[in-house]
A = this chain, B = another copy of it.
């Protein structure tokens, strides 16, 4: 990371460093945040270093956040991780900071920060934090805890070395982190854990998923089903990837009814590009993973028909 020395020197200049990341944190946001906190605290035992943002119910096993008063931001350096846009930073008190460092692997939506270390080819920000340590071997080092948090971040963002962003460098970093005696199997199992209620939702989906001869699949999750399982619409995110495991599925739509009767649509594909279909319904996203919202069941069935036509 070419900004490594600049980042280190900026850290040297502050007695308070606050590390933040995006809202609704995933494993990479939390793992890079808590890993970097540990790494900096080892390098600068005398400094006050905090990890700030809402605690995560789902990924609380990676670690917990620090609660700090507004005045701590006075004269502080803020490091913001894994967040390409200003409006998604958790929390907005970052604006009170004296200086800001951004470290990210998303293409920049907002160019912010006195130092901007943005590497879209990296699998994860956790991988970038490992690079930062490796670029400053005389100044920075890993603990077992930091290595565990960064490993969680890497497997979170790569689907445990499944997605194409997994690189030779990703595996090299994983090998290095393992040398710190991290419990790879336990972290891997935590990463793929689901609650009993989500398991029942997944079970319902697998038992009733509709797949046509061309590989078009869909499943509709009703409010009634969610309510009967004690789940919310956002919990459905845990089952979105699963239909991709079926040999017969090429692309799929998961409709999740919200409390107003509209449907949030998750579009996924193994090959055929489905983002045009999302755009047609006021949504958008990547070629193989998009999102949209449709008004009612009629529009749900229009979209199913369009997916089938797309795959024919």
Give the most central of A159, A164, A245: most B CB within 10 Å: A245
Query: Contact at A196–B248, with CB atoms within 8 Å?
Result: yes
Residues of the B chain whose Cβ atoms lie less than 8 Å from the Cβ of A161 = 155, 160-161, 174, 184, 188
Residues of the B chain whose Cβ atoms lie less than 8 Å from the Cβ of A261 = none
Query: Contact at B193–A247, with CB atoms within 8 Å?
Result: yes
Give the most central of A161, A164, A270: most B CB within 10 Å: A161
Closest to A249 in B: B196
Residues of the B chain whose Cβ atoms lie less than 8 Å from the Cβ of A248 = 195-196
Residue A112 is within 8 A (CB to CB) of chain B in the complex: no
Query: Contact at A247–B194, with CB atoms within 8 Å?
Result: yes
Once the chains are docked, how many angstroms separate the CA of A52 from the CA of B175?
Answer: 34
Residues of the B chain whose Cβ atoms lie less than 8 Å from the Cβ of A74 = none
Residue A207 is within 8 A (CB to CB) of chain B in the complex: yes
Closest beta carbon of chain B to A180's beta carbon, Å = 10
- Which of chain A's residues 246-290 have a Cβ closer than 8 Å to chain B? 246-248, 270
Closest beta carbon of chain B to A102's beta carbon, Å = 28
Closest beta carbon of chain B to A49's beta carbon, Å = 29
Closest to A192 in B: B245
Residues of the B chain whose Cβ atoms lie less than 8 Å from the Cβ of A160 = 160-162
Residue A200 is within 8 A (CB to CB) of chain B in the complex: yes
Residue A189 is within 8 A (CB to CB) of chain B in the complex: yes
- Which of chain A's residues 127-184 have a Cβ closer than 8 Å to chain B? 155, 159-164, 166-172, 174-176, 178-179, 184
Number of copies: 2
Residue A86 is within 8 A (CB to CB) of chain B in the complex: no
Query: Contact at B189–A270, with CB atoms within 8 Å?
Result: yes
Residue A203 is within 8 A (CB to CB) of chain B in the complex: yes
Query: Contact at B166–A184, with CB atoms within 8 Å?
Result: yes
Query: Contact at A171–B162, with CB atoms within 8 Å?
Result: no
Query: Contact at A193–B245, with CB atoms within 8 Å?
Result: yes
Query: Contact at A208–B199, with CB atoms within 8 Å?
Result: no
Once the chains are docked, how many angstroms separate the CA of A205 from the CA of B202?
Answer: 10
Residues of the B chain whose Cβ atoms lie less than 8 Å from the Cβ of A202 = 203, 206
Q: Which residue from B174, B179, B203, B247 sits with its C-beta under 8 Å from A207?
A: B203
Residue A311 is within 8 A (CB to CB) of chain B in the complex: no
Q: Which residue from B166, B169, B204, B246 sits with its C-beta under 8 Å from A199?
A: B246
Interface residues of A (CB under 8 A from B): 155, 159-164, 166-172, 174-176, 178-179, 184-185, 188-189, 192-196, 199-200, 202-209, 211, 244-248, 270
Q: Can you list 15 A-B contacts (CB < 8 A)? A: A155-B161, A160-B162, A161-B161, A163-B185, A164-B185, A192-B245, A196-B211, A196-B247, A196-B248, A199-B209, A202-B203, A202-B206, A203-B203, A203-B206, A204-B207
